[in-house]
Amino acid sequence: MPKKSIRKAVEFVNPYVPGKTIDEVQEAYGLDEVIKLGSNENPYGPFDNAKEAMIQEIDQLFMYPDREYEDLKVILAEMNGLQHENVALAHGAGGMLETLARTFIEEGDEVILPTQSYGLYREISNLMGAKVIESSLNAEYKIDMKDMMSKFSDKTKLIWMCNPNNPTGTMLDQAMFDVFLEKLPEKAWIIMDEAYIEFSDPAKRIESIDYIKKNKRIIVIRTMSKAFGLAGARIGYAFANKEMIHIIDTVAEPFNANRIGLAGAIATLTKDQKTYEKRLQDIISERENLVQQLTKMGMNCIPTQTNFVFFETGRNASAIGEEMLKRGVIVRPCTGWGYEEAIRVTIGTEYENQRFLEEFGKVIKEIQ
Ligand SMILES: *Cc1c(COP(=O)(O)O)cnc(C)c1O
């Protein structure tokens, strides 16, 4: 029935598939304890001061948030050597990505995106009627900038990039990226989604903020959802040149960041730095441990710069995922990206990772 009335482009959009929730799995399998390692959240969040600030903010909820979001913008700008006019906020990075699609894409415009990456890029591009041009990752599970460049045309409007890449955890190479920027078609902008950048080795990062200062056509997206432990509070942001930020803020719906999220984000960044740093280190050292253990079990772990590990199991990943669910551990089989034998697992607490390893060890003995 609604089909007659909706925009044609909507037919080509697939619903976002979130990771399974704890309640869902508890109910389906009658389990007491479920460990969620399927959505790349930070189990240590929200940090204490953020929690307190969010509780305090409840009394203010009868009022709209400050439309300019000045306080948080100033903090984020200063942390990155930018000015607050270089920052736009949104309901999560996801909200920002959608605003960008609406800002740039006209029916028939070409967008280029990595096939094995964050799925939202494709769906919001399709929703806007873009011609989506895909590029497969290379043999090292990295975004293939050479291949993407070969797809550049004068119709290219947007290039969706994910650095480090979800689901593989790999990063872009600086030297190649410089070439990429040089070859960038005239009308094209690069959307650089850095949802996991905080987990990466600073020496391996490309200088995305510097490119903004140099007025390159790049928009950097970040989020409070992953490293900062505030996925449920829905705060994401973009860095770009001032003119572009003004345009983004014009396109975005009014009040696209909520008071609780803003309060939590501000407190996290100003009062919880120590906890943040400690937990970041915990996650990174647990990551190294998990990679070691999985490698010992014969898994092929792709080197990761994120809070998750992507690994090839040599077995049917859906079957593994299903079997793990029965045992109360949610992981992400990567079949939706065409990796039939790969699993993506989030780094949890030490306890959660141990539980994962125990159950995983049993499951791979069962499924050969
Ligand atoms: C989790 C994730 C997002 C979405 O983050 P939110 O801020 O929670 O909307 C965006 N991009 C990538 C690559 C992600 O993994």
For 147-160, the pLDDT digits (tens) are 999 999 999 999 99
The DSSP output letter for 257 is S
What average pLDDT does this structure show over 34-50?
Answer: 97
pLDDT at 178 over 90: yes
Ligand 1 center to 268 CA (angstroms)? 18
pLDDT at 1 over 90: no
Looking at residue 11, what is its pLDDT?
A: 85
User: What backbone torsions phi and psi does residue 162 show, to the nearest 5 degrees?
Assistant: -130, 115
For 274-316, the pLDDT digits (tens) are 999 999 999 999 999 999 999 999 999 999 999 999 999 999 9
Q: Whose CA is nearest to atom 1 of ligand 1?
A: 195
Q: Which mutation among 223, 308, 310 tests ligand 1's pocket best, with the greatest number of atoms within 8 A of CB?
A: 223
Binding site membership of 211 for ligand 1 (Cβ less than 6 Å): no
CA Rg, the chain, in Å? 21
Which residue would you say has higher pLDDT here, 41 or 9?
Answer: 41
175 exposure class (CB count in 10 Å sphere: 0-12, 13-18, 19+)? exposed
Binding site membership of 193 for ligand 1 (Cβ less than 6 Å): yes
Looking at residue 205, what is its pLDDT?
A: 97
Binding site membership of 231 for ligand 1 (Cβ less than 6 Å): yes
Give yes or no for a contact between 153 and 161, defined as CB atoms under 8 angstroms apart. no
Looking at residue 9, what is its pLDDT?
A: 87
SS3 of 17-72: the string is: CCCCCHHHHHHHHCCCCCEECCCCCCCCCCCHHHHHHHHHHHHHCCCCCCCCCHHH
d(CA 320, CA 353): 16
Give yes or no for a contact between 84 and 74, defined as CB atoms under 8 angstroms apart. yes
Relative to the CA of 96, which ligand 1 atom is closest?
9
The SS3 of residue 134 is strand
Dihedral angle at the C-alpha atoms of 82, 234, 16, 106, nearest 10 degrees?
A: -40
Q: Whose CA is nearest to atom 2 of ligand 1?
A: 195
Binding site membership of 223 for ligand 1 (Cβ less than 6 Å): yes
d(CA 94, CA 121): 9
Ligand 1 center to 195 CA (angstroms)? 6
Binding site membership of 168 for ligand 1 (Cβ less than 6 Å): no
Binding site membership of 236 for ligand 1 (Cβ less than 6 Å): yes
pLDDT at 196 over 80: yes
Of 18-27, 62-71, 170-179, 236-245, least confident by mean pLDDT is 18-27
Mean pLDDT (the chain) is 96
Looking at residue 2, what is its pLDDT?
A: 79
Ligand 1 center to 154 CA (angstroms)? 29
Looking at residue 17, what is its pLDDT?
A: 75
- Compute how many other C-beta atoms are within 10 angstroms of the C-beta atom of residue 188: 21
Q: Report the percentage of the chain scoring pLDDT > 90.
A: 90
Q: Which mutation among 166, 192, 258 tests ligand 1's pocket best, with the greatest number of atoms within 8 A of CB?
A: 166
For 105-150, the pLDDT digits (tens) are 999 999 999 999 999 999 999 999 999 999 999 999 999 999 999 9
Q: Whose CA is nearest to atom 14 of ligand 1?
A: 195
d(CA 135, CA 70): 38
DSSP strands (E only) in the chain: 35-36, 87-90, 110-114, 131-135, 156-162, 189-193, 218-223, 236-239, 300-301, 308-312, 329-330, 332-333, 342-346
d(CA 31, CA 281): 31
Q: How confident is the model at residue 19 (pLDDT cuts 50, 70, 90)?
A: confident
pLDDT at 68 over 80: no
Relative to the CA of 117, which ligand 1 atom is closest?
13
d(CA 73, CA 65): 13
Query: C-alpha angle 202/207/208, rounded to 5°?
Result: 115
pLDDT at 67 over 80: no
Query: C-alpha angle 109/113/117, rounded to 5°?
Result: 150
Ligand 1 center to 94 CA (angstroms)? 6
Cis link prior to 185 (omega < 30° from 0)? no
Relative to the CA of 224, which ligand 1 atom is closest?
7
Q: Whose CA is nearest to atom 5 of ligand 1?
A: 93
The DSSP output letter for 178 is H
What average pLDDT does this structure show over 246-254?
Answer: 95
Q: Which mutation among 96, 196, 225 tests ligand 1's pocket best, with the greatest number of atoms within 8 A of CB?
A: 225
- For tokens 């030490």, the residue is 350
- Cβ-proximal residues to 254 (8 Å cutoff; 6+ apart), any chain: 67
- For tokens 């449920």, the residue is 232
> What pTM was estimated for this model as a whole?
0.96
Relative to the CA of 165, which ligand 1 atom is closest?
13
